[in-house]
Amino acid sequence: MSAQNANEIINATACEVRDRLLKKDIKPTELLDILEDRIQTVDDQVNALPTLCFDRARSFAKKLEAKPMEDRGMLAGIPVPIKDLTAVNGVRTTSGSPIFADRIPDWSDVLVETMETNGAIVYGKSNTPEFGAGAHTFNPVLGTTRNPWDLSKSAAGSSGGAAAALATGCAWLAHGSDMGGSLRNPASFCGVVGLRPSMHRLSDGPGTSPFQTLSMQGPMARNVADTALLLDAMVGFKNMNPLARPSPATSFLSIANKKIKPIKVAYSPDLGVSPVDPEIAEICKNAALQFEAAGVCVEEITPDLLDAPEVFKRLRGLDFVVGLGPLLDQHRDKLKEDIIWNIEYGRSLSAEDIAWAERKRGKIYYSMRQFFTEYDLLICPTTIVPPFPVEQRYVTECAGQKLETYIDWLAIVSTITLTASPAISIPCGFTKTGLPVGLQLVGKPQGDGPLLSAANLLEEILPKMQTPIDPRPKVGS
């Protein structure tokens, strides 16, 4: 294949690539060749996909190519990287931790199995911070992922590798996960799309806490329609996850493509829980107001979410005790200080501390349920700052306000986690220095389809963010 043809395919959308696969204009094995060349060209600068498994991928692709087209699944052979927190049979899965630096599971997470059944081809693992803790992708095993828009900046996290791979043309679709913004933050920093679906929309597992309600798996892509396509390939009830939901009767892609106009949406500059960089606030407000061009009523209003940061901090601490507490007892010397802090904080909580958080979360849910009787969407910034220097562990100050812990700067996304609502980050503009900014759209619980449809409409109105890009040593270069 010529370099020009390969470049055209790299720049194509996932939906366009699938159409070409269905027409047999291209084979899955050829897509893998194109990706391998692209990764060799650009990823040493970014470190988005530190673990590759092209031999496994080609074996899977050849088996797929031998099947009738109707049996190849909805993705029909599109390659997809899996976040390094999620097990893939026969592929190194480190969780970014020295404890599991050499782990090669002999099983796959049920979500990976679902995706492969639906025609996804796994060709690599995307980088993540240690155990996904923190919104900056670095770890002592696989190193740091850099932002392709400016290699001196963070790609955010914890799905930073997935976002950077999409932005550089090393993926058309990517798997991610999200507890306190881990899909949405890197989507914002890297100029791509990330969807945190409704609670337990997807089946995953096995895991240490199958009944947990904070961390969810989700799709990432370069545009909304492609994100909906991957969501369709991820859904499906598996009893490995006791809370997961069955597949919907109508595909998310078909709903997204209808671009159904919401009637009235709310815009909040900060959700009342966080400082926001003034430039980010202005860009996001202007983007939200673009809905008015489609005849949508946009009102600036903030729901009562004031207790959410403390609620999230406590429930997150509990989750860390459940999931990682035994590792602290056995491998304290191999855990980063932020994880140790989270676990020890969780262990310091009393039963009444947890009960308070659960009661407050219930009030937040019912308050938002009432809010959504008047508004179809809630819109706000995805991140409170533009991408920060890659050497910095986390954001310590914003708009003149000091932030105490490494999760404080995530309040604008972690607050939405508590509502059980689906939330999507879409690109909405650039800072004066040329760095991407993301807009967070929040839908009604179980309203993934209408959310994708509205996001697709707004994406069509907003200026197009051109991805993929070649990595840039510095913005403007």
Tell me 129's DSSP state.
S
Give me the DSSP letters along 96-127: T-GGGTT---SS--HHHHHHHHTT-EEEEEE-
Based on the residue annotation, tell me whether 83 is a catalytic residue of this protein: yes
From the list 449, 421, 44, the residue with the least C-alpha distance to 247 is 449
Start-to-end Cα distance in the chain: 30
Q: How many CA atoms lie within 13 A of 225 on its CB side?
A: 14
Which of 108, 154, 177, 182 is labelled catalytic?
A: 182
The answer to whether 364 and 322 have CB atoms below 8 angstroms apart is no
Q: Is residue 203 flagged as an active site residue?
A: no
CA 410/CA 425 separation, integer angstroms: 14
Query: Could you give the 3-state DSSP secondary structure of residue 190?
Result: helix
63 part of the active site: no
Which amino acid does the sequence have at 290?
Q
Contact 127, 139 (CB under 8 A): yes
Report yes or no: 77 and 166 within 8 Å, Cβ to Cβ.
Answer: no
Q: How far apart are CA 13 and CA 325, in angstroms?
A: 42
Residue 386 DSSP code: P
Q: What is the C-alpha separation between 471 and 45, in angstroms, rounded?
A: 7
Q: Tokens at residue 172, please?
A: 């058309």
The answer to whether the CB of 175 falls within 8 A of the CB of 82 is yes
**Cβ-contact 193, 220 below 8 angstroms:** yes
> Which among 83, 125, 153, 259 is annotated as catalytic?
83
User: Are β-strands 397-398 and 401-402 bridged in parallel, bridged antiparallel, or unpaired?
Assistant: antiparallel
> Among residues 233, 199, 37, 241, which one has the least CA distance to residue 121?
233
Helices (runs of H) and strands (runs of E) counted in the chain = 15, 17
**Whose structure tokens read 């031998």?**
66
Catalytic-labelled residue, pool 158, 203, 274, 421? 158
What lies within 8 Å, CB to CB, of 6 at 6+ separation is: 34, 37, 38
The strand pairing partners of 177, in sequence order, are: 217
d(CA 385, CA 436): 10
Q: Please give the radius of gyration of the chain, using alpha carbons only, rounded to the nearest integer.
A: 21
Q: Which sequence positions are flagged as catalytic?
A: 83, 158, 182
